[in-house]
Amino acid sequence: MAFLSWLKDSFQPFFLLASILLAVLLSFFMKLKSGKRKFNLPPNPPKLPIIGNLHQLGNMPHLSLRSLAEKFGPIIYLQLGEVPTVVISSARLAKEVLKTHDLALSSRPKIFSAKHLFYNCTDVAFSPYGAYWRRIRKICILELLSASRVQSYSFVREEEVARLVCRVAQSYPSTTNLSKMLGLYANDVLCRVAFGRDFSAGGEYDSHGFQKMLEEYQVLLGGFSIGDFFPSMEFIHSLTGMKSRLQNTFQRFDKLFDQLLTEHENPKREKEEHKDLVDVLLNIQRNGYDEMPLTTDNIKAIILVSEHSLSLPSLLGCPNWLNINLLKF
């Protein structure tokens, strides 16, 4: 009897702990099962373990998604790695998403490359929906993209179109890479409007290797990033060198922007007839715009987003394009 009493007293804590653990596990699995029943998910194609539906996107995601829409309907649920995603493929549902329920679905995921290149996504393109995004959008609409501001730079567009025509004429009769020339045209217009500088003309600013920096930036922003589809595996970018490439490109842009801001803040700088984007943003920062003042990093992020528009064509054929244009479920 004494032995049985000792056995009972010794194992009582063990049985108590085992009972608690079993109760927790049962509660977890019950919650998991009830959670799965709770969601009324859209139709979805069969998926593979771990990668989900990533294998069904292919090299041309827009064509793959069209084929899936023809088979499963205008609203599809996809599991892209660890990221649950809803794909909309009809005008009627797109209106519901973008207009009727825009406040609930208007935010954006923070993709890995944008976090490192766009000052932790504080630009207007990748910033999550909220008070900050509404503020910088208001600044862009009223101060940077107003009809009068756009019209004031008509002379820049006219001069750059004339330069583009000259480039095409000079390349005759050899084969002309029109895509490259149109890219140079867009680059020249944006740089003159945003920075007040012509980076394609050579000289001091060309020594920064701006064009090569921009090409690297486009590659990094448009390339496949495993951390976007598997957030728990972002550490892999440190092992592959992706993170160091992003940081190096960011530091080169940041150094260039520091120089541009210093020049624009110099009181001895010759005042130009037309203010560029940097002048406007610095004026807003000095005079105050609302209850949320602009920081220097905010200004740099807004400046950089003007160059981001050059990357859109290269994103359309890349998997990262999905993270920008698809809605997270």
| Contacts (Cβ under 8 Å, ≥6 apart) of 304 | 117, 118, 119, 123, 253, 257
Binned at pLDDT 50, 70 and 90, residue 11 comes out as very low
Domain ranges of the chain: 40-106, 117-316
Positive or negative, the CA dihedral 325, 239, 298, 154 is negative
Statement: residue 4 has pLDDT above 50: no
**Mean of pLDDT values over 285-297:** 78
144 within 8 A of 280, measured Cβ to Cβ: yes
Statement: residue 288 has pLDDT above 50: yes
Strand order in the sheet with 327-328: 75-80, 83-88, 327-328
Cis status, amide bond into 42, omega within 30 of 0? no
Average predicted confidence (pLDDT) for the chain: 77
Whole-number Cα distances in Å, 172 to 159, 168, 177, 200, 310 = 21, 7, 11, 21, 26
Widest Cα–Cα separation across the chain: 107
**Mean of pLDDT values over 5-20:** 45
- Give 240-251 as a DSSP string: HTHHHHHHHHHH
**Mean of pLDDT values over 38-61:** 86
Q: Homologous superfamily of 117-316 in CATH?
A: Cytochrome P450 (1.10.630.10)
pLDDT at residue 239 in the model: 86
**Mean of pLDDT values over 142-164:** 87
Rounded to whole angstroms, how far apart are CA atoms 2 and 147?
94
pLDDT at residue 23 in the model: 46
pLDDT tens digit sequence for 69-109:
999 999 999 999 888 999 998 899 888 888 888 888 878 88
Beta strands in 65-192 (DSSP E): 75-80, 83-88
pLDDT at residue 306 in the model: 64
Among 5-14, 37-46, 152-161, 231-240, the least confident range: 5-14
- Helix (H), strand (E) at residue 327: strand 327-328
pTM for this one?
A: 0.69
